[in-house]
Amino acid sequence: MNILFLLTQLETGGAQTRVIQTVEQLRRNGNSVDLAFLYKKRDCFSDVDKIILSKRAGLMRPIEAIFNLFKLLRSKRYDAVVTNTAPANIIGNSVALLCGVKGRVAYQTQPPQRLQSVYRILDAVLGTLSVYRKNIVNSEWTKSCFDGYPNSYRAKLRLLYDGITPPPSTTTKREAREILGLPQDRYLILNVGRLSAQKDQETLIRAMATVDGHLLIAGDGELATQLNSLADKLAPGKVTFLGELPREKLGTYFAAADTFAFSSRWETFGLALVEAAAHQMPLVVTDLPVSREVLAINSEAMPQSPRTTFVTPGDSVSFARELNTARAAALSFPRTKDPTVCSVFTIEYHTGRLLEICSAAVGGPRAE
């Protein structure tokens, strides 16, 4: 199958990582796949073959991106265009329709209630009018967010859980700490995510004021300066910002850390949770419906999963208490060197199901 994947911005995020792994898996399976971004937000994924549709800023950015996308779709005979994130969904599927691409597939990475009004309205219109031929949601909770939408919109929704290959690690905790130069006797807590209001690392930093340990934050984002200043003020010497890391090095940090802290205010899936569970880490997690959904599936498939504690979003006092409590679980739970993902969250299952949906969007066998 000949497929174009389109995302809004190039940066190191969960959606970008998932799509890049999907593209690589589809290519290994013999499909012809291109990967494009409307624009580049940050330098990353330098070894990935990709197309940046606009290198301009301001008003000219969407204009140039649309123009170059139109040229790309007219020059290549794609069977399907799979878009991720709201601007890419709206722009990509509209241009694909104009260019005669039959397989038009949108991937919802945000609940509609979190979208800006203009995106929410346009998404509802395009989905209702069949500009999206198939419309993917990555959890039952995300699907429920569209319950009030017209029947013609909801009829195109297809559930497809995110797939991921976790960051690799072949080292023990002691070996990983030696490689990274981390102390062997320190309680280490890991958080992975964009430095943003959604991921809410601020709550973790506030919690660290009363946690006997050290917080490692892997990621970059718009709140980097603000969060660094907050850490210096509230938890001096107890928080390290690692920046955006290559997957191999991130895997070593997963192996080195004792506990994983997930502080997001909202998610539609939570890839970092699956990655941490694959590394068999005790989890302290914000109590979101989708977090319970994803971790319940993981626990059912892998009953030997480590201890998970749910905390009210934004509650730094509870986070501090549970992070301190998790120390004992972290020391007692056995961990293997090789991370393992339950079958429904593997990239192999994900790509196979995605191909079925693309085929149905083109007009092949129906994907339910």
Q: For the segment 129-166, what is each residue's pLDDT rounded down to a tens digit?
A: 999 999 999 999 999 999 999 999 999 999 999 999 99
The predicted structure's pLDDT at residue 286: 98
Q: Is 308 found in the same domain as 258? A: yes
Q: Is 192 found in the same domain as 139? A: no
The arithmetic mean of pLDDT across residues 88-110, rounded, is 97
In this structure, are residues 342 and 302 in contact, taking their beta carbons and an 8 Å threshold? yes
The predicted structure's pLDDT at residue 303: 59
The domain that holds 19 is classified in CATH as 3.40.50.2000
Reported for 138-144, long-range contacts at CB under 8 A and 24+ positions apart, including other chains, are 138/107, 138/108, 138/109, 138/162, 138/268, 138/269, 139/268, 139/269, 139/290, 139/293, 139/294, 140/293, 141/268, 141/289, 141/290, 141/293, 142/108, 142/111, 142/268, 142/269, 142/290
Q: Which amino acid is at 50?
A: K
Does residue 368 lie within any of the structural domains?
no
pLDDT digits (tens, 9 = 90+) for 307-325: 899 999 999 999 999 999 9
pLDDT digits (tens, 9 = 90+) for 337-348: 788 889 999 999
Residue 248, C-beta contacts closer than 8 angstroms, at least 6 positions apart: 167, 168
The predicted structure's pLDDT at residue 306: 67
Q: Is 129 found in the same domain as 35? A: yes
- Residue 121: its H or E element: helix 117-128
The predicted structure's pLDDT at residue 300: 79
Selected residue with higher pLDDT from 178 and 363: 178
The predicted structure's pLDDT at residue 331: 75
Does residue 85 lie within any of the structural domains?
yes
Q: Is 248 found in the same domain as 154? A: no
The count of residues in the chain is: 368
Does residue 367 lie within any of the structural domains?
no
Structural domain harbouring 129: 2-164+346-362
Q: Is 113 found in the same domain as 146? A: yes
Q: Total domain count for the chain?
A: 2
* Mean pLDDT score across all residues of the chain: 94
Does residue 330 lie within any of the structural domains?
yes
Q: Is 312 found in the same domain as 216? A: yes
The arithmetic mean of pLDDT across residues 210-223, rounded, is 96
Q: Is 70 found in the same domain as 213? A: no
Q: Is 202 found in the same domain as 333? A: yes
Q: Is 33 found in the same domain as 129? A: yes
The predicted structure's pLDDT at residue 366: 47
Q: Is 355 found in the same domain as 316? A: no
Residue 266, C-beta contacts closer than 8 angstroms, at least 6 positions apart: 111, 114, 198, 288
Q: Is 322 found in the same domain as 221? A: yes
Q: Is 117 found in the same domain as 43? A: yes
The arithmetic mean of pLDDT across residues 189-201, rounded, is 97
